[in-house]
Structure 1
């Protein structure tokens, strides 16, 4: 499609129904989204020329719903794509280069004739692009290059995984342009993980990429580390009268790397006691049968964290089942139980080394105070979101109290702290 036709498709209303479906939005938000796409087309034209054949893509951020720190033990997770996304206007080229200009950042240019890991690209977007392209070429696809302009609503550090959204976006582009769309959403997620691990230098799991790529509520089973299973859970959050909120605690992740690393390390120490690599390989009954020697051998905190794994791994499966059965009351109970387990057993709410800095604890307490004033029939659910220690908190709030909740949380934590989100039913996708 010519660039001018793409812009017209958005501005003339052709895309309205598709946008409303993908972004789970009404007319007002649809108009804002349409203008965003039209602006992106204009920016592409100013960078790469008017007379280009273009395609348009989108990939969402994600939220972790259930299974806190269970993925690295090859357990179960419930996640969801959200309506905040990164979009791209793209045109193929034949000069074996990928050029991506992201709004607010310098252009990244990758030479496809050199796809070796570049140490100076670690922790940067160029490394991600090079790694994704390399993996697709290794899979036998003729990636010859493209130019792209991107703009993102998934802000870095928002707790909604901007990096995974970007990885899925690039993977979705290459899959569409050079693979005839043959690769599955999960394969695109795995390619993103490969690039993040090898080229970016971050030893992350697969949950973020899988949720962004598959879309909707996604139940993920990581038992097979090479072929994890992901299945969409059909559930409409709006239908039960609740909104999803993510609250920024404004706590810094700086100096917390040892805290994050200790969680999988300590869980794996428990597994190693039984000659296994991860806790999912150790039967729960066997674990509880060895509590005295485990406490003596490796200490109490690893034991507590293992207790959390077994309970939250089951909860993630039960949460998915509750949504499938349309039992939202049960789902909320499980979310609250997960939050309590993270606080009591997993202990990722604040750093023991920085005990006087407890922004996540304070935020959870403020949510509990707000929730205590609601009628029992409008009970809320809330928990720490993601890795913990800093970052964000998640809450499910009755829609009729959502505006008051946002205003109240912002008054306590600062304007712009609380974000109302929607679960997006579609993952990485080609819009045009």
Structure 2
């Protein structure tokens, strides 16, 4: 398994004379903006500084398979949470950032508070408390300052909140623990905080690719975590762009839909003597289908059927990627999209609001029978995922933006390195 190593000393790379990235490290204007933000919020330099870079993530295959003990494929992408950390020698934890609420916490008061999935204060409290519980935090010098800048706004629902979670996990890993925690350990720490402090209920489908980088085949058979296997595949080399298109109209809230899917799948599993559908034989479900329909309704039965279909298609897509068979991968992606629409039914069924389904129809038209599009598992009521050939990318992007607004269609680079940190 790949791991995220200890923090590295950047040394002479920090010349500040260019605006690109040296070995993944923010330099030039990016670094200047982080320092300006840190100093503007909390005062000038008085301690050694740590820079953190944490990528976003996209689910490539596996829609609502993670929480049922199935499989998924997810990847790290070059949409980042960038941060700068330093110890402040006090008992205060101070966090600020571009597009983030300013928070100040007493390191002696880390009790849980009511928080949602995008509650920064709850996440920071939980992460610091977790490092304390594991004996990794210095008991007499907990205070630190952090300033962050995110490429995607918190709560956007497109790339999840895991980039921010792993930025903090990797920051504390290097600030306090000498960079000793592996990528898997950081991902599980972020997952625990999400579950215990933010009300999350999923498996680490988002956190693992952010922590490890690259394309990861994830197995969730173990309810306490996941097994990750890196897949060596390059969409760009094959001539394809990985795109998200924001098409949702925001009239139906995503958490309510996701919650009903989880509840109905678990109800079906419970009726068959298990906690998750991954622990149920499909043949047993089919034998009891009349009872399932009567007890939970047709939609719950359809969602269970989707799980087994989608889980099989994930494994087939993994084999296609390993064999560099893009044609098979695209065919399976189209089939997965059909299963999500027909059986999972995670999109609104309101007469005048069919934004996702319309988005898929428009995407198919603009793809001109090439590539593939499906509902993005991480944002089922807001975005579609499209694999777009280079030959039609410009026309596809222009066509989608013409309907959904400039910038609605964005291509993302799959990046090999997960959340990382450098001492300045």
TM-score, normalised to structure 2, is: 0.90
Runs of 4 or more above 6 Å deviation: 5-8
1:381 alignment counterpart: 372
**1:200 equivalent in alignment to 2:198:** yes
Query: C-alpha distance in 2, partners of 1:65/1:184?
Result: 24
The alpha carbon displacement at 1:370 in A equals 1.4
Q: For 1:115-143, what per-residue CA distance to the aligned partner results, in whole angstroms no more than 9, with x for missing partners?
A: 21123788520110000111111111124
Q: Of 403, 407, 416, which residue of structure 2 is paired with 1:425?
A: 416
1:393 deviation in Å?
0.5
Aligned residues: 410
1:359 aligns with 2:355: yes
CA contact (8 A) 2:203 2:220 kept: no
In the other structure, the counterpart of 1:321 is: 319
Counterpart mapping for 1:11-410 below 5 A: 11-12=16-17, 16-19=21-24, 34-47=28-41, 48-119=43-114, 124-143=119-138, 144-252=142-250, 254-348=252-346, 350-352=347-349, 354-371=350-367, 373=368, 379-387=370-378, 389-410=380-401
Rounded Cα–Cα distance in structure 2 between residues aligned with 1:257 and 1:16: 36
- State how far apart, in whole Å, the 2-side matches of 1:304 and 1:421 are: 32
Preserved contact between residue 17 and residue 28 of structure 2 (Cα < 8 Å): no
Q: What CA deviation, in whole Å up to 9, does each residue of 1:223-269 have, x standing for no partner?
A: 11213212221211111011111000132164454432221111112
Matched position secondary structure for 1:239: coil
What secondary structure, in the 3-state scheme, does the structure 2 residue paired with 1:277 have? coil
Give per-residue Cα distances to partners, 1:30-58, cap 9 Å, x unaligned. Answer: 9xx74223321232233331343111111
**Secondary structure of the residue that 2:14 maps to in structure 1?**
helix
Distance 1:6 1:37, change over 3 A: farther
Moved more, 251-260 or 133-142: 251-260
Structure 1, unpaired ranges of 5+:
23-29
- Equivalent-residue separation in structure 2 for 1:312 and 1:67 (angstroms): 6
* Larger helix share, 1 or 2: 1
- Structure 2 alignment gaps of length 5 or more: 1-9
Contact persistence 1:159–1:386 (CA under 8 A): no
Instruction: Note the C-alpha offset of 1:10.
Output: 4.9
Change (3 A) 1:314 1:120: closer
CA contact (8 A) 1:10 1:37 kept: no
Secondary structure (helix, strand or coil) at the match of 2:236 reads helix
After superposition, residues 405-416 of structure 1 pair within 5 angstroms as 405-416=396-407
How far the C-alpha of 1:400 sits from its partner, in A, is: 2.9
